[in-house]
Structure 1
């Protein structure tokens, strides 16, 4: 079974916990932070197309060297350095059915063991359109982490009830850090499985706590238990969750029913931060999607709008490498900003999404990351964001090699978001 973790609620930062409470409980953004554009500090962004020695990057041939410079800075100063693919990695398909989702889909559940001794593992839940599987057509697929277990994305009783440690949340059916039967389908509103299947796409999802339980324990649980304690530039939880997405991709590449050349990595909130880092660090992901990822994700840190580097490292210190804490209230000293994270994905496709009322995540700062990453995409022969420099109207997506929308509503994942992501994939993958 996937690894479990022992902890008390006192070990969890209460504010960090609040960031994934149900949407109804997040109607007000946290007080005491800047939500006024007039109070955004003056800042200068580091140029993704200028080498560390000041040499301008004017050709696609120069980009790999500059990309490596930027990647190293993110590794050392933001997310931390993760190990490579473990030698003992192996997979077990422990359940499958060809009669799921009202007969429209096949379902399989796969255990990914991170070591030869099978001491630490994660489970992947996969739904694929039955008609594609029967026609032997590999399926383009969305890969994503979830917050409360694979069993929460659907009422499907065949999904294994997770036994891993979870943040207690009665609305999600989690009591004393354990899932109960009441948690089945608790997050289904964020996962329109049947709609995804009807559009011809597959869905693969993993409970993020299987990889690294989300509390600050000094890196002793989850996959960290297999490795030595990290140094100041060692992998924080965001990098660890991204590493887990790459291990899931390792499995997807072995599954003949999945088109591994057309896999989109998707994440919401803190898991949107993880999806961005996964897309930046693993070129196998064809499309990278960030939904309301905010500070440490798509939003420019130098704007200090809504959540800040200081606050996120105070409340969730395990998310980033230790070196990142020095940039709290000192964002301009950091040698990188988040537009460069988006730029690392080039020339592959990326989609950044915001919510109008989610000022904590700084929608404008998320859009500006796309704008300032676009020159790299254009240098590499793509259309970037199509020359867009002004935020689009609410609920009117922009779709080029880069995509963006800001929708009505709060910090959440909605059918509007999913339809936009599938429209984007239709365009990018020629469906």
Structure 2
């Protein structure tokens, strides 16, 4: 699908031009996807086109970022906030002697209830380690069956070991396959994670007990000025602040990764904070990597109906006027440039629109080219288990909406390529 479509298409298919497709309904039939026109990420408001990396960095990038703040995720607070960290415990021989385990609490604004509980597994080396940073869905105890890791008492979404939206002891280690700590450590990478519910519990009224309420005065930002995804993304940046102080971490080699709604969050955090060296989106779908104007899988009105707290209020105004939205998700991916970006899909995860995620990554490549970097060379959708691209890379694997060892193998190889050159 090209950025511009000739007018005869609209004459040939007037029902499509009139928006006959109902975005309140989901579509998983590729033959029914109508033509669409994406906003041009390189077009400056005065009608001219960005032609250099300097123009992008100094003029167009701030403009596009502001559009996402105003129309999708809400304000990204930039002001200083009082923050302190406390190392709760350290085990130099964790995971059968293969890792250093650190539990770190990060407090904000002298409020002991505004706290992020970090779990860190680092390789036992004498050099600062590159790390993968990402939030988890069910509490740190889900990442490993290590009995020392405290079980979260926060509200959680339904999942393994969850009863009435609270985790039980049965949740311990239930997500270990998704995190692959042993695999990361074997390749010299550390793992840093925290429960996203530490920041804001994932339901429409969750903000009332979360950072958006507790830090509204300190951040000079009202809860309605941003969103749950905005708060989770902001917290990732604050964890990055901490990582820059930890001598065991190479803070210049932090890979930010996220799955599903936390993949959306990783993309927004990566766009907002250039300190993240690599950004990885795993099946982030609508409101993440997938194109909003492409009628396939989950759609804007569907996601806004089910998860109204994820995005700002303005985003909901486009439910029935998607073409009026001044951005689409390829522009979010372009904000990562020139840093390496990986977008991944799953063949059976049609709800996330794998092809829409791929096309979004492909369209973002025009910005990478300004920096002289290769992105994805063709708009031809690749076969399963055939990764494509360079500085922007994409794969679709077999299977369902998940994070698997195959995904991690690709991410590790991607990071090794950029971190271990020479």
Q: TM-score, normalised by structure 1?
A: 0.88
For residues 223-276 of structure 1, give each alpha carbon's deviation from its aligned partner in whole angstroms, at most 9, with x where no partner exists: 112244966971111111111111111111100110000000000000000000
User: Are 1:347 and 2:338 counterparts?
Assistant: yes
C-alpha separation in 2, matches of 1:143 and 1:238:
16
| Aligned ranges 1:75-114 → 2 under 5 Å | 75-84=69-78, 86-114=80-108
1:151 to partner: Cα distance: 0.4
Q: Which of the numbers 185, 188, 212 marks the counterpart of 1:224?
A: 212
1:178 to partner: Cα distance: 2.5
Residue 307 of structure 1 is matched in structure 2 by 298
1:162 to partner: Cα distance: 1.4
Greater displacement, 219-228 / 63-72: 219-228
Residue 173 of structure 1 is matched in structure 2 by 161
Residue 145 of structure 1 is matched in structure 2 by 135
Q: Which of the numbers 374, 385, 388 marks the counterpart of 1:395?
A: 385
Gaps of 5+ in 1: 1-30
For residues 320-370 of structure 1, give each alpha carbon's deviation from its aligned partner in whole angstroms, at most 9, with x where no partner exists: 000000111321110000000000000011100000011100000000011
Q: Which of the numbers 403, 415, 422 marks the counterpart of 2:412?
A: 422
1:316 to partner: Cα distance: 0.3
Q: How many residues align?
A: 394
Residue 370 of structure 2 is matched in structure 1 by 379
Q: Secondary structure at the match of 2:97?
A: coil
C-alpha separation in 1, matches of 2:207 and 2:314:
15
Q: Which of the numbers 285, 295, 298 marks the counterpart of 1:294?
A: 285
1:32 to partner: Cα distance: 5.2
C-alpha separation in 2, matches of 1:288 and 1:32:
31
Residue 204 of structure 1 is matched in structure 2 by 192
Residue 67 of structure 1 is matched in structure 2 by 61
Q: Secondary structure at the match of 1:118?
A: strand
Gaps of 5+ in 2: 1-23
| Alpha-carbon contact 2:86-2:106 (below 8 Å) kept | yes
Greater displacement, 270-279 / 230-239: 230-239
User: Are 1:49 and 2:42 counterparts?
Assistant: yes
1:83 to partner: Cα distance: 1.9
- CA shift in 2, pair 1:232/1:226, >3 Å: closer
C-alpha separation in 2, matches of 1:57 and 1:158:
53
Residue 254 of structure 2 is matched in structure 1 by 263
C-alpha separation in 1, matches of 2:346 and 2:310:
23
C-alpha separation in 2, matches of 1:82 and 1:68:
13
1:177 to partner: Cα distance: 3.0
RMSD between superposed Cα atoms in Å: 1.6
C-alpha separation in 2, matches of 1:224 and 1:276:
20
Q: Which of the numbers 352, 356, 360 marks the counterpart of 1:361?
A: 352
Q: Secondary structure at the match of 2:293?
A: helix
| Alpha-carbon contact 1:110-1:125 (below 8 Å) kept | yes
1:85 to partner: Cα distance: 5.3
- CA shift in 2, pair 1:70/1:122, >3 Å: same
For residues 41-86 of structure 1, give each alpha carbon's deviation from its aligned partner in whole angstroms, at most 9, with x where no partner exists: 2211111111011111111121120111100100000000032354
For residues 271-305 of structure 1, give each alpha carbon's deviation from its aligned partner in whole angstroms, at most 9, with x where no partner exists: 00000001111000000000000000000000021
| Alpha-carbon contact 1:82-1:234 (below 8 Å) kept | no
| Alpha-carbon contact 2:375-2:389 (below 8 Å) kept | no
Q: Secondary structure at the match of 2:90?
A: strand
1:173 to partner: Cα distance: 1.6
Q: Which of the numbers 184, 190, 193 marks the counterpart of 2:181?
A: 193
